[in-house]
A and B are shown apart, each in its own frame.
Chain A
Amino acid sequence: GDSVTQMEGPVTLSEEAFLTINCTYTATGYPSLFWYVQYPGEGLQLLLKATKADDKGSNKGFEATYRKETTSFHLEKGSVQVSDSAVYFCALSPLGSNTGKLIFGQGTTLQVKP
């Protein structure tokens, strides 16, 4: 079945460091791909998405490119801030499904220190 694998955390970085959180997926065809973020005490929020191969999603300085050849959707940010500390979830929505259910990875906790 479809699945998402994320790099294990926690990831601890200093402010202004470069961030990469790896995400790979297994799916039939070309699903839509998402990054959701959960800040402390809040619900999940959509960070960015890509709906077809080679698309790049971007938001708040974060980017991720849909790579079909490597079945990956790695999240990157050039310079993290303390306010980026959160849990990041990679997810996919299966193509051709009769439902919009999301399949999530296990989440990666990011802690940014001043």
Chain B
Amino acid sequence: EAGVTQFPSHSVIEKGQTVTLRCDPISGHDNLYWYRRVMGKEIKFLLHFVKESKQDESGMPNNRFLAERTGGTYSTLKVQPAELEDSGVYFCASSQETAWAQETQYFGPGTRLLVL
């Protein structure tokens, strides 16, 4: 069974440009999460999809970030326009459980974003 995959693995862009990150969860997993780790600090939650619906987007930093999950399969996270402080590693995770507080989330390898 394939794990969670993310594309691209690395992205270097200039301030003001747009970047779109993609996450393909494990097949059959309804829950999809985005997280971000900035500069060696803690990993922070961004949002949670259940199928195509946003269950919780309380961690999205501002309206420059837009996440979608059309059809409840893969998800994209767009940053437009990118700022220097957006640099970091963006992780995607998926799970199939409904007992959210006890579930195991399966993480992708992350996308390393550098904004210059």
Contacts and interface: CB of A to CB of B under 8 A. Distances in A.
A100 B43 CA distance: 15
A36 B109 CA distance: 13
A106 B33 contact: no
Contacts, number: 76
A110 B40 CA distance: 14
Contacts of A105: 42
Contact of B105 (A4, A42, A102, A107): A102
Contacts of A17: none
Interface of A is mostly: loop
Nearest to A109: B40
A46 B42 contact: no
Interface in B40-71: 40-45, 48, 55-56, 59
Nearest to A4: B42
